Structure 1
């Protein structure tokens, strides 16, 4: 593939949902519109021509991680079950298989991924495949392959097929020399983990391809994301999920961070809503390609105290893990997300009280349904 031969970001109106039509915003001088002239490929061309402009065909990679299934459910409600394809290299549960299309997809297999995109007329790509911070430090070679080689594969395919592509970044994209309270969208980053390095690389590659070739690249820096429906996946902020499970199962939790370690956090419902709203936003609204999003910031001690309002018997001990503590100490304690709030109207719903109440309710309900004891 020769990248320099095509300019291929669809105009904003091409994917603008019906409920956003008629709205307009003024953000300085008009931005350049890009056009796309896809190479005729038979079935792909026929499928795209038959697809409503406000009903994208979405592929989600790494879909069995913390975020994929929930995002797929939201997008399927908006665009139809068959228009959102979940993919991963792991075996899905019966529930995932019954919820909508699922396919095996390895982001390191360029040819197979290309066939999947072409044969299904994909127009939006959400790239969730990645090894997280602590897991990545334990296997740097694998993290480099998945987080960087896999990223290049999906970026190349998005450029070739004129896709709108979303690649999440993270709090981990910042380092000890970054401003910490708050961290702005644009500043020194210099992370000290392979996870963070790969995310900064993704931010810069996506921005480069946007400015040089018109790729419709979009990226949000997520804080720690907290969900009752997925188990911790090897991230440094995962204590903030495990503590809820432990509170309702044993009443005891051993935290691997110091009690005063403050980090940005977000309820998964806010994370999904931010992603969907950002994907819907017309390009003319966006002054950046990568935005911080924020909701709250707390320490292990603060979340434990809030949980004790509902589970008074919770006992928390602290045994600092050197690797995770080092990572956490290099990250911001708060995000400045003023650009996201200004450009496309981002506003979180959940604060700490609402987060704790919802997490305890959801996990208690889940344990009861599964016949498990509740502390």
Structure 2
């Protein structure tokens, strides 16, 4: 990877956990967990949450919940589902599950739309799909993201749109989209693949990339939002807390330093006899505001690791998985995260004041 100039010497924030906001309600639709939500603030200021609700057999739907605040308390009322598996690319008969997984919602002003990227788990495996909304309540599917010839084809996850157009590595004004191409090895063998994955060079493991969709064709026809023309590697799993894979988390938000997001990383701990436990933690990343393939900062240690029974025990143990963020003040945010793939937590983030220092590039 080329040397990044203008790197941030530090980028700090304080996270305060605020407890569980959603747990399974006992219905068949949530029997295997309610987790990894998207969020949106409607045009009239209402906070919406879109949890992934998992029914028996790992069948996933995207819920719709309306938030109501009472001081510091926040309650969500269920209002049915934003998406249920119905498109051919969301429905399959093979064992292992199906449906609409892990949504992230971004309001994109230049398109005047809420854009939801989610994992469609259908007959071909996990793929990134897109749905659009004018109001945050009613959603229309656009379809599966298409990658141009020469780019990754196949299993892909963690699609998250940037809110503003940026420049691609080739200098094209584009809509940007995080994604995480998957290795067939890990989708087929899970934990059994860990020793093999660790033997790979970090850049050969599952890495976070940014895909670029040229803006001009999208403005002519919104269906062109599915057409990715470039993809740049931005986060490789080379830190002690994320040696297995990295992946997008919350939609990026604009701060003084560039585009900021809370991302996730996965590490494996050897517990003996060839067995491993996995841990999902969270960290910060800051991208250049104009050219986000330039990473100005990334966490070398996690900012959030699983703690307490609700994050260490669940459908999948030892998981914190941030997927939604809302701005509540100057450098102050509220974010929502999956807890052990079973329930949803809420936390507050206060970023430290912008630090103007610049790290000298290595010789």
TM-score by length of 1: 0.27
TM-score by length of 2: 0.28
Flag the structure with larger Rg: 1
Q: Greater share of strand residues, 1 or 2? A: 2
Q: Greater share of helix residues, 1 or 2? A: 1
